[in-house]
Amino acid sequence: MKIQKRHWFIIFSILVLLVSIEVYQYTQTLKEEFASAVTIGTPNPGHSWSEMECSSDTLCIDTANKRLGIGTNNPATALDVVGDINTSKGIRLNTAGGDSQPNCSSGTRGTMWAVSSVSGASDSVYVCLKNSNNTYSWAIIGQGTFVCGTSVSFTYNGSTVTYGTILSPAGKCFMDRNLGAAQVATAYNDSAAYGDLFQWGRLVDGHQIRTSGITTARSSTDVPGHSNFIYGNSSDWRSPRNNLLWLWQEADTINNPCPTGWRVPTSTEWQAEVTAGLTNYTTAYNNLKLTAAGFRHYAASGTIYNTGVIGEYWSSTFSSDPNAYLFDFRETTSTVTYASRSYGYSVRCIKN
């Protein structure tokens, strides 16, 4: 039997209809399966499904604030998840740097933040936690390993500087030059490597510069508020004294002249270096590039004495009032001793 053209048209139309029904049913099945896995709330008036803006606490996109909420209809951050996260590959935190540390408060409690703040620093991971007094602060929960020999960049006296690092005979990591030195020493009496001279416990405020101004006015606070070297008949630049200045307790201390992660060595650490072989200015230079930078005398109008002859390096350890311990080396001898805190001595930073 010969089929007319109109019959072919009818058959084709029926086939198209059947295919359309199958596609529709398949689409509905997918939608139902998706809805059973993730319940999407009813779209708000004026919004499309594609925006997935919801009124129930399921899966929501806040297009106005560019936030995604899972298990909440009010995401507070770029990604706000209420419930556990199961991942086989972990969560990566950006350590590119450049962004300032977020504010730690009740609104950011539990936030994790990773950063590598300066050249030569290892990555650190922080978490925002509530303290026992109901305040909030960042706590470090992990840190990469610092490898001694790496250069370190930091701000010193208002300028960015880069120092190398060196492993000591006693196994400690020191910076390779004194604070304020223009270069690594080429000899024990290299004047370009002498660096600055600090009064014990004072911060980097300009007083340590060898040509700084002078004053006889003692300070009643930890921060004198000027750049003058304090001299006179008193053996301490501060009145009353504060024995906690520079004191190391596994954290940055009051007036620490060294950058974050570094500090002034303790008297015990200097003694360990003496025992390990720093017995005179030759061995001090050979092993740690220390220089006989001399000292600044508080009882002689801040005059500098014995450059190229004596090396005097502060420790962070205080002695009986009004003294503090230091590492002293000369042509044939070295010792850990103590002196008045008003003297101006060298500072060599050690890694925490």
Q: What pTM value is reported for the model?
A: 0.67
Q: Position 246: which residue type? A: W
pLDDT confidence band for 286 (50 / 70 / 90): very high
Tens of pLDDT along 70-95? Answer: 888 788 878 888 877 777 766 666 65
Strand partners, 173: 167
Q: Is the predicted pLDDT of residue 342 greater than 80, yes or no? A: yes
Give me the residue spans of the domains in the chain.
Answer: 1-36, 38-87, 106-143, 152-351
- Mean pLDDT (the chain) is 84
Q: Is the predicted pLDDT of residue 37 greater than 70, yes or no? A: no
Q: Is the predicted pLDDT of residue 151 greater than 90, yes or no? A: yes
Q: Measuring CA to CA, how many Å separate 282 from each of 95, 232, 331, 332?
A: 42, 33, 7, 9
Q: Is the predicted pLDDT of residue 35 greater than 50, yes or no? A: no
Half-sphere exposure of 171 (CA within 13 A, CB side): 0
Q: Is the predicted pLDDT of residue 179 greater than 90, yes or no? A: yes
Q: Mean pLDDT, to the nearest integer, of 47-66? A: 64
Q: Are 75 and 96 in contact (CB under 8 A)?
A: no
pLDDT score at 69: 82
Q: Is the predicted pLDDT of residue 107 greater than 60, yes or no? A: yes
Q: Mean pLDDT, to the nearest integer, of 180-199? A: 98
Q: Give the least confident one: 19-33, 139-153, 218-232, 328-342.
A: 19-33
pLDDT confidence band for 237 (50 / 70 / 90): very high
3-state secondary structure of 187: coil
pLDDT confidence band for 324 (50 / 70 / 90): very high
Question: Most confidently modeled of 42-51, 82-91, 139-148?
Answer: 139-148
pLDDT score at 110: 83
Query: Residue 8: in which H helix or E strand, if any?
Result: helix 5-37
Q: Are 157 and 179 in contact (CB under 8 A)?
A: no
Q: Is the predicted pLDDT of residue 28 greater than 70, yes or no? A: no
Q: Mean pLDDT, to the nearest integer, of 185-198? A: 98
pLDDT score at 23: 54
Q: Is the predicted pLDDT of residue 53 greater than 80, yes or no? A: no
Look at the block and give the residue holding tokens 């950006």.
Answer: 94
Q: Measuring CA to CA, how many Å separate 68 from each of 58, 72, 109, 210?
A: 11, 9, 18, 58
Share of the chain above pLDDT 90, in %: 55
Tens of pLDDT along 245-272? Answer: 998 654 557 899 999 889 999 999 999 9
